[in-house]
Amino acid sequence: MSSEVFYSSLENKRLQSPLNKLKRLFNKCSKNLDFESKQLTAIKTHFGEYGNTAFIKPVYLRPIIDQVMKLQLKPFLVDTNTLYVGMRTNTVDHLHNAALNGFNYSTFQIPVVIADGLRGENTVDVKIENGEILDIAKVASDIYHADAMVVVSHFKGHELSGIGGAIKNLSMGCASRQGKLIMHSTSKPVVNTDKCTSCGLCAENCAADAILLEPKARITDKCTGCTRCVAVCPESTIEIDWNESSENTQKKMAEYAKAVHSLFPNRIFFINIITDVAPTCDCFPANDQSVCPDIGFLSSTDPVAADKASYDLVAKNSKGGQDPFSRIYTEIDPLIQLKHAEKISLGSLNYDLKTVK
């Protein structure tokens, strides 16, 4: 069965504001959904690591927020803390980073929330229906507790999964840090003892009592992989082994996306922004030039169809009509995540692209 995907090109001979296009794409999806007045509605996006300039322009969120408010819903902008150590590792730094990149209350007049708590510790287990690798997803608690969600994703390349769009935003983007570790790694964090000062902060903060000071810190088998120690270490010396394969990470992403999607029956849809299509993730504090011209926006209630349509549009608009991501990441098949998502009934790779002027 095909899913509807609504598409608006950035080609603009009639000089219409792109913001009106986004508004129309929003309305195409929202009209048949089951939103109820006053529902707390997460607008899930990615605030971009400071130094990166390819992330979604904040102005693109304005019409989306306006339409959410018109439906009498209560929107809040949301992202989650990162697994890697950077400007978005804890809520305080993350909100500062978000404000620097233009995502703040004074721009939008709605709250900005980091959904997994001060140091990424707020997590809720959600069952994964049809999961083949995982049974449980560790989801950021303020996403779990939201009533409805609009997932606004920047479609671009990704160094581990080949592409990043709605599935990536719904999975990695909505997972707590513990969930991100499960998708990225098959092992627990390890201490780089060269930089450890034996300050003991990690051990004090470890709820599993898994860290010994000998006198350098050592993580024992009691570790549950919560990753709190990664966020508290002042020397950034507790490291993640990013050893999971692209294939397994992509499949785990699809399964996490399925779990998060199940939290919002008929109260979730997806908007993909296909501009500044950088080869790498917005988590880098820098970005390379785009792999194709700016293309436009699309919306769908099906995240698989939204990403497949975005992928096809990028290929069609790239040199020789070829997918540029497979050329950059020759070892990665970026469609694994979408095929697995279809297999576990998250959505459809077949879509009916409907142009919205």
Q: Residue count at the site for ligand SF4 (CB under 6 A)?
A: 27
Residue 57 or residue 218: which is nearer to ligand SF4 going by CB?
218
- What is the closest distance, in whole angstroms, from the C-beta atom of residue 242 to ligand SF4 in the complex? 15
Query: Please, which residues have CB within 8 angstroms of residue 86's CB and are 6 or more apart in sequence?
Result: 49, 283, 285
Residue type, 348: S
- What is the closest distance, in whole angstroms, from the C-beta atom of residue 240 to ligand SF4 in the complex? 10
- What is the closest distance, in whole angstroms, from the C-beta atom of residue 183 to ligand SF4 in the complex? 15
Which of 235, 247, 333, 352 binds ligand SF4 (CB under 6 A)? It is 235
Residue 270 CA to its chain's centroid (Å): 12
Residue 197 or residue 245: which is nearer to ligand SF4 going by CB?
197
Binding string to ligand SF4 for residues 136 to 175, with x set by CB under 6 A, is what?
A: ----------------------------------------
Query: Please, which residues have CB within 8 angstroms of residue 142's CB and are 6 or more apart in sequence?
Result: 42, 78, 113, 114, 115, 116, 122
- What is the closest distance, in whole angstroms, from the C-beta atom of residue 193 to ligand SF4 in the complex? 8
First to last CA, the chain: 25
Strand pairing partners for 154? 273
Nearest-angstrom CA–CA distance, 55 and 284: 10
Residue 208 or residue 353: which is nearer to ligand SF4 going by CB?
208
Nearest-angstrom CA–CA distance, 323 and 328: 9
* 231 binding ligand SF4? (CB under 6 A): no
Question: By CB neighbour count within 10 A (0-12 exposed, 13-18 middle, 19+ buried), where does 198 fall?
Answer: exposed
- What is the closest distance, in whole angstroms, from the C-beta atom of residue 218 to ligand SF4 in the complex? 9
User: Is there a contact between 270 and 300 (Cβ–Cβ < 8 Å)?
Assistant: yes
Residue type, 340: H
Number of residues that make up the chain: 357
Binding string to ligand SF4 for residues 190 to 229, with x set by CB under 6 A, is what?
A: -x----xxxxxxx---x-x-xx-----x-x---xxxxxxx
Residues that bind ligand SF4 (CB under 6 A): 188-189, 191, 196-202, 206, 208, 210-211, 217, 219, 223-229, 233, 235, 237-238
